[in-house]
Structure 1
Amino acid sequence: MTGSITLIGIGDDGCVSLTSRAINAVAQTELLAGATRHLEFFPQFCGEKLSFVSGLNGYLTQIVEAAKDKDICVLASGDPLFFGIGKRLLAMVAAVDAAINVEVITSPSSVQLACAKALIPSDNVKVISLHGRAITGMVARMQQGDHFALLTDNDHNPVAIARHLLSYDETLWRLVLCEHLGGSKERIREFTVQELAATSTDDIESLNVLLLQRQGQAYWGGLATHCPDSAYQVLTPLNGLITKAITRALVVARLGLTPCSVVWDIGSGSGSIAIEAAKQAWNGHVYALECNPQCFDVIGQNQKRHRVDNLTLVKSKAPLGLDELPAPDAVFVGGSRGQIDAIVEHAMSRLSIGGKLILSAITLDSVSEFFQLCKSKQYQYEVMMLQSSVSQPLAHYQRYQAENPIHLFVITKEGNNT
């Protein structure tokens, strides 16, 4: 005999809003599984119970094993297939015993209920889950829309979220905090970012959804994906330590980034390459490696100004520190401090297949060194010399001011590269 699993979504009001189909499934089941608070909604159930306390994998394994010869019901919050246990349960059933029949009876998701309370059309809302996830990158993801629903946990609670927004000057948002939706303790409150940041966490219920509506908040702080040099704080008098705008645009374009890319910017200087890469890879992450202490504060200021919380400054002289970073999809080397061979070897060994490594050379010595390196390693590469001029006023006229020429070595990681 092969049993079955009926996965039932249940709201904070318990049995009240369940359909007769869901109630009948519980009444007829041989085993009822769920969190303690869910099981407490069915005190009249006299059959076998399985309570979820901790350890999700072990809990789901018990459910699937029991379903091999029993018909069981599993209770879960709201819509079990919306950031719930449904996805993992279905995957486990498929891997262990695909003959087990699974049926899902949903309730409205927490986001649907919250949007109805806040009078926000749910089809406009993007969902960001912070359950067991880092808050890092949240602000960058919020540059992709105007309406968001944030699923929180005890660490990344609404107060922590508001404080993170405040640290990046993301203050022009309407925040609607929805607690215990559909239950007897339901509470809907509206805050500014500053108000919620100043609220005690003791006044926040753990079962909550936080809605955010853009209220005139400019994307990326009013700065475009690609910006002129004047949009960056630079270190003076060392010529700014910034890759100039024309070169920067070409480099970021040739890195071939996707929204989820992981990027290394080695020798970051002012962080301009890292920041514009982070805007392209808004759902990924950028690591800016810099060993000059004078640059650290400059990079931090530019990061905050451009709202790229998906950027991490690594205070290290490459290749030191690279081992601790996630494998990259793209690498830019703007400065190597004499370590170019070791940096390239390390980057190419970890770069994803098809990924790009771009080396920047401004001296003839570096051009020769990079050329010999690419030849000796038999890399697939191309070289571009970028020479540009920009207009400058001269009395009542305009003249061209030439920028220093720069060579870019664009190396593509092939399957046989190491």
Structure 2
Amino acid sequence: MTGSITLIGIGDDGCLSLTSRAMNAVAQAELLAGATRHLHFFPQFSGEKLEFISGLNDYLSKLIEVAKTRDICVLASGDPLFFGIGKRLLTMVAAAGTNIDVEVITSPSSVQLACAKALMPSDDIKVISLHCRPMAGLVTRIQQGDNFALMTDNEHNPVVIAQYLLDYDETQWRLVLCEHLGGIKERIREFSVAELAGTSTEDIESLNVLLLQRQEQPYWGGLAMHCPDSSYEVLTPLNGLITKANIRAVVVARLALTPKSVMWDIGSASGSIAIEAAKQAWDGSVYALECNPECVPVIQQNKQGHRVDNLTLIETKAPLGLADLPAPDAVFVGGSRGQIKGIVAEVMSRLTPGGKLILSAVTLDSVSEFFELCKSNKYIYEVMMLQSSVSQPLAHYQRYQAENPIHLFVITKEGNNT
């Protein structure tokens, strides 16, 4: 005999919104499984019950074992295939190699219900789950649209989220907090970012969805993906310690980043390369490594001002610290402090196939050293020498002011291109 699993989505109003098909499936089941609050909706069920307390994989494994010979129903919140247990259950059933029949009967998801209550169209809303996920990257991701639904947990609750937005001056959002949607404790409240940041966490129910609707909030704080040098704080009087805008545009383009790329910026100085890379890799991670303590507050200011919370600043002298970072898809070395051989060796051992390593050379000595390094290691590389001139006023006229020439060694690791 082969059993079956019927996965039923249920709202906070319990049986009231379930279809007759869902109710019949429960009535015919030999075992009913779910969280405590879900099982309480069915006091009349006379069969066996299996309560979920902790350990999701073990719990699902038990259900699959029972379903090999019996018909069972599993209760889950809302739409089980929307940030619910449905995806993992289907994966585990397939991996078990059984012939268990699986049927999913959904209810509206929490986001659908929240949008209806807030009178927000749901066709263009983007969902971000912070449930058991880090907060870092949230601000960067909300630069990609105007309407968002945030799935929260006790650690990353709506008050903490609002305080985090406040830290990055992301204040011009309409926030709608939806709690216990569909249930007798349902509550819908609208806040400004500052109002919610000042609310007591004790006044927030754990079952909630937080909606964000852009009002007058400019993208990236009003700064573009590629910015002029004047938009960055720089360390003075050391001539700014910044890769100039025209060179920066070429470097970031040649790194061939994707939204999910991991990028290292070694010798970050002002952080300008890392910041513009972070805007392109908005769903990825960027690591700025800098050993000059005077540069650290400068990078932090630029990180905050450009809204790139997917950027992590690491105070170290490379190659120290590189082994602890996730493998990169792209690396830029703007300064090596005499450690270029160790840095390149570590980078090339970790770089993903097809990934890019760009070395910046401003002296003839560095050009010669990098050339020999590439040639002796038989890297796939190309060298470009860039020089730009920018107009400057001269009395009633305009003249060109030449910037220092720079050599870029663009090294590609063997393998498929990213």
1: CA distance, partners of 2:259 / 2:411 = 21
SS of structure 2 residue aligned to 1:25: helix
Separation of aligned partners in 2, 1:341 and 1:46? 72
In 2, Cα distance between equivalents of 1:350 and 1:50? 46
Count, aligned residues: 416
Q: Which residue of 2 aligns with 1:150?
A: 150
**Post-superposition shift, 1:99?**
1.3
Poorly superposed stretches of 4+, deviation over 6 Å: none
**CA–CA distance in structure 2, aligned partners of residues 372 and 98 of structure 1:** 59
Match of 1:99 in 2: 99
Rounded Cα–Cα distance in structure 2 between residues aligned with 1:19 and 1:238:
70
* 1:218-297 superposed matches below 5 A: 218-297=218-297
* Matched residue SS, 1:148: strand
- TM-score by length of structure 2 reads 0.99
Q: How far apart are residue 2 of structure 1 and its match?
A: 1.2
| Residue 327 (structure 2) pairs with residue 327 (structure 1) | yes
SS in 1 for 2:127: strand
Show CA shifts across 1:239-295 (max 9, x none): 111000000000000000000000000000000000000000000010000000001
Are residues 1:338 and 2:305 paired?
no
RMSD: 0.8
Deviation of 1:415 after TM superposition, in Å, equals 4.1
2:257 is paired with a residue of what secondary structure?
coil
Superposed counterparts of 1:37-186, under 5 Å:
37-186=37-186
Counterpart residue number, 1:388: 388
* Aligned AA (2:176): V
Aligned partners of 1:225 and 1:274: how far apart in 2? 12
Matched residue, 1:201 = 201
**SS of 1:51 mapped into structure 2:** strand
Report the CA distance between 1:323 and its aligned residue: 1.3
Consecutive unaligned residues of structure 1, counting only runs of 5 or more, are none
1:139-197 CA distances to partner (integer Å, 9 max, x unpaired)? 00000000000000001000010000000000000000000000000000000000000
**Structure 1 range deviating more: 94-103 or 136-145:** 94-103
SS of 2:209's equivalent in the other structure is strand
Task: Give the TM-score of the pair, scaled to structure 1.
Answer: 0.99
Q: Deviations over 1:66-111 (max 9, x none)?
A: 1111111000000000000000000000110341111000000000
* Secondary structure, counterpart of 1:183 in structure 2: coil
- The answer for the alignment partner of 2:215 in structure 1 is 215
Mapping of residues 370-381 of structure 1, within 5 Å = 370-381=370-381
SS in 1 for 2:60: helix
| SS of structure 2 residue aligned to 1:393 | strand
Report the Cα distance in structure 1 between the residues aligned to 2:35 and 2:302, rounded to whole angstroms.
45
* 2:295 alignment partner, SS class: helix
* Corresponding residue for residue 353 of structure 1: 353
Q: Render the CA deviation track for 1:291-339: whole Å, top value 9, x for unaligned.
A: 0000110000000100000000001100111111111110000000000
The Cα shift of 1:27 comes to 0.5
Quote the Cα distance in structure 2 between the aligned partners of 1:281 and 1:132: 22
Distance 1:264 1:48 in 2: 54
Q: What secondary structure does 1:123 align onto?
A: coil
Distance 1:358 1:331 in 2: 6
Counterpart position of 1:400: 400
Give the 3-state SS of the residue equivalent to 1:233 in structure 2: coil
Alignment match, 2:26: 26
Letter of the 2:250 partner, please give it: L
Q: Secondary structure at the match of 1:124?
A: coil
**Structure-1 separation of matches of 2:195 and 2:137:** 22
